[in-house]
Amino acid sequence: MTEEIRRAGGNATPVVADATAAADVKRLFDAAAERAGAPVLVVYNAGNNRFRPLLEMDDAFFEDLWRLCCFGGFLTGREAARRMLPAGGTLVFTGATASIRARPPFTAFASAKAALRALAHGMAREFGPQGLHVGHVIIDGGIDGARLNRRFPQFKEARGEDGMLGIEAIADAYWHLHTQHRSAWTLELDLRPFKEAF
């Protein structure tokens, strides 16, 4: 991906870090600061959707989902805000259908995503008046990217044309959040394919 960005005239540096480890998250932001100064747009997009009947969830299964979906978002949001204030900027968290609806066997995932959403709402209320725009985007549907298409190659065809969320289309929405005038900021929006049942 770095290569792709560069070929298109952009500039990118990949940094490998564990989003759930505070030291790693700090190191990531420090590395970014060295190359490009304070961040202006930060997206927390981690969060694997895993599922299991509740009685078969061991402690680690439940905790790990929270750690990845929510705690990493807390670490990232806190470190981002520390570096972005008072200049301001945009901080977006990626949500899911499960953020607002808990359905088995996704209960642990839904719990973690609901925790992330509340975190985003609280940060929006706290940091907005200081000039930091916090957004939360609810992705409702399958994303037309390498991960899903590799694991479920038949899914894309079954969905039909534009039946999965296009990555560029998602990026457009995030970019719109980033470019909104501060007199009319959006905290939350949902994104889904036009043909999605919901």
Q: Tell me whether strands 41-44 and 89-96 are parallel, antiparallel or unpaired.
A: parallel
Q: Is 187 in the site for a second copy (CB under 8 A)?
A: yes
Q: Which of residues 38, 57, 155, 178 is near a second copy by CB under 8 A?
A: 57
Of 35 and 125, the one with the shorter C-beta distance to a second copy is 125
One-letter amino acid at 150 equals R
Q: Which of residues 71, 84, 93, 95 is near a second copy by CB under 8 A?
A: 71
CA angle, 132 as apex, 128 and 135 as ends, to 5°? 80
Q: Which of residues 19, 81, 91, 96 is near a second copy by CB under 8 A?
A: 81
Q: Kindly identify the residues of this chain, within the stretch 115-144, that bind a second copy according to CB under 8 A.
A: 115-119, 121-123, 125-129, 131, 133, 144
Question: Residue 90 pairs with which residues in a beta bridge?
Answer: 41, 133
Q: Is 169 in the site for a second copy (CB under 8 A)?
A: yes
Q: Is 46 in the site for a second copy (CB under 8 A)?
A: no
Per DSSP, 40 falls in state: S
Q: Which of residues 12, 54, 87, 146 is near a second copy by CB under 8 A?
A: 54
Least distance to a second copy, CB of residue 150, Å: 19
On the 0-12 / 13-18 / 19+ scale of CB atoms within 10 A, 165 is buried
Q: x-or-dash pattern for a second copy, window 5-44, by CB under 8 A?
A: -----------------x----------------------
CA distances to 65, 179, 194 from 47, rounded to whole Å, are: 7, 25, 24
- HSE, side-chain direction, 13 A CA sphere, residue 77: 29
Count of residues that bind a second copy according to CB under 8 A: 78
